[in-house]
Amino acid sequence: MREDLFLDPWRRLLDGLGVDPWPELVGSGFLDLLRPEAEGGAGLDLAGLFTLAFEVGRRPWTPRVLQTILARLADPEALDCPDAELVLVAGGKDPVVARALCAAIDAALMAGAIDTLQAVTLDYASTRRQFGREISKFQAIQHQIAVMAEEVMAARMAAEIAMAGPPLSVSAEAAAVAKMRCGEAAMVCAGIAHAVHGAIGVSAEHDLHHLTGALHRLRLAHGGEAYWARKLGAWALSRSDDAATLVRSL
């Protein structure tokens, strides 16, 4: 499996990035993962990129590597790209595909970010004590974290399914499911994480706001839940299939 081959070096690279990360990132070759092998890239498809994007999502302080990887499909020299959609469209790629591709990547990043959110929330709930015991012993806290775990699983599933095939053949409908579902999960999980953390979670020093802040920005980027739900619904209602058939084709 190519993706497994990449995963460990990728994690090490992300965890070791310094204050000037871009020369190191360029040198690593990872920025050209999606570009064709004939042009010096790795020719990775979206399925291969999923876990790598997820890992970036788990580290929301990482520089904009995913946007840059996508932008390089149109501009091989792109660096520190704030928004790949603009670069892809300027480079002549289909605007519908460009937006869907960016949305699918946003979804993978969100799925990763809420995975970390769950880890820090579990950890905090098991260490913070009130009324003489860990707050994780209170049923109300347990049930909130159970809901969070469900959302984490749902988000990852939605994001992973959308990441299939060559990047520029991404399915707009699958991307819609991913961005919509991950956006919903992000809202639920950010709310629960902050609730469980109490006041410490809104202090500047605490890492929590990096995660929830990233989630809020990703929700806004490249169309939010309502935007993608409308696209998906318009597609569904333009066909005559039943719901079960429609979801099977997503």
Q: Which residues bind another protein (CB under 8 A)?
A: 118-119, 122, 125-126, 136-137, 139, 141-143, 145-147, 149-150, 153-154, 156-158, 160-161, 176-177, 180-181, 184, 225-226, 228-234, 236-237, 240, 242-244, 246-248, 250
DSSP annotation of 45 reads -
Nearest to another protein of 105, 145 (CB atom): 145
We find the least distance from the C-beta atom of residue 166 to another protein, in angstroms, to be 18
We find the least distance from the C-beta atom of residue 91 to another protein, in angstroms, to be 29
Measured between alpha carbons, how far is 241 from 203 in angstroms, rounded to an integer?
50
We find the least distance from the C-beta atom of residue 228 to another protein, in angstroms, to be 7
DSSP H helix total and E strand total for the chain: 11, 2
Nearest to another protein of 68, 121 (CB atom): 121
- Name the E strands within 16-163: 129-130, 133-134
We find the least distance from the C-beta atom of residue 168 to another protein, in angstroms, to be 22
Measured between alpha carbons, how far is 74 from 246 in angstroms, rounded to an integer?
32
| Beta carbons within 10 angstroms of residue 98's beta carbon | 25
Nearest to another protein of 41, 112 (CB atom): 112
Nearest to another protein of 202, 220 (CB atom): 220
We find the least distance from the C-beta atom of residue 28 to another protein, in angstroms, to be 26
We find the least distance from the C-beta atom of residue 108 to another protein, in angstroms, to be 13
**Amino acid letter, 14:** L
DSSP annotation of 40 reads T
Nearest to another protein of 25, 208 (CB atom): 208
**Amino acid letter, 166:** P
Measured between alpha carbons, how far is 121 from 148 in angstroms, rounded to an integer?
9
| Nearest alpha carbon to residue 53 among 110, 1, 109, 119 | 109
Half-sphere exposure of 236 (CA within 13 A, CB side): 19
Contact between 52 and 94 (Cβ < 8 Å): no
We find the least distance from the C-beta atom of residue 30 to another protein, in angstroms, to be 22
Nearest to another protein of 58, 93 (CB atom): 58
| Beta carbons within 10 angstroms of residue 18's beta carbon | 7
Nearest to another protein of 69, 145 (CB atom): 145
Measured between alpha carbons, how far is 68 from 11 in angstroms, rounded to an integer?
17
